[in-house]
Copies of this chain bind each other. A is one copy, B any other.
Amino acid sequence: MKPHENVLKLEQQLCFAVYSAAHAFNRAYKPLLDSLGLTYPQYIVMMVLWERNGQTVKEIGAKLDLDSGTLSPLLKRLEKLGMITRTRDENDERQVVVSLTEQGKATRRQALDKIVPAIGNLVGCGVDDLDEMRDRVIKLKTALDTAVPHD
């Protein structure tokens, strides 16, 4: 048989497995996040702010690998939801500082109580397996990023 003719098969491809798993996560999160009124990308922005309140768009973007083209409209929607405020930095008016409102802070409890345990159950494997898989996927991402730098 010809060498490597089956390398184009969908089921053999790691990239498709990852692409597909990302969508599956989205579908799993959606009904849970609906109760908080958030989408998954909005949720991870909230996570960034729950770790440290008051960050610039640039800082948030660096942690999530997202640019202002994605974040600007997303943050406006979070602001309209009453989750965050956006204020120009006094010292450097180029920067916009994003801060949690009281509602935004309170939503963290909702996430801890309702989202995290529910997702934990869905993944359906031990914590150790899960940690190892996560580390591998992060290594994969790092390898790709190193080979194809961005920003």
Contact = CB atoms under 8 A, between A and B. Distances in A.
Copies in the complex: 2
A20 B124 CA distance: 21
A133 B134 contact: no
Contact of A4 (B112, B125, B140): B112
Nearest to A9: B51
Given A15-B119, A27-B144, 5 more contacts: A8-B111, A11-B138, A19-B44, A133-B137, A136-B136
Contact of A141 (B21, B40, B47, B141): B21
Interface in A95-151: 108, 111-112, 116, 119, 121-125, 130, 133-134, 136-141, 143-145, 147-148, 150
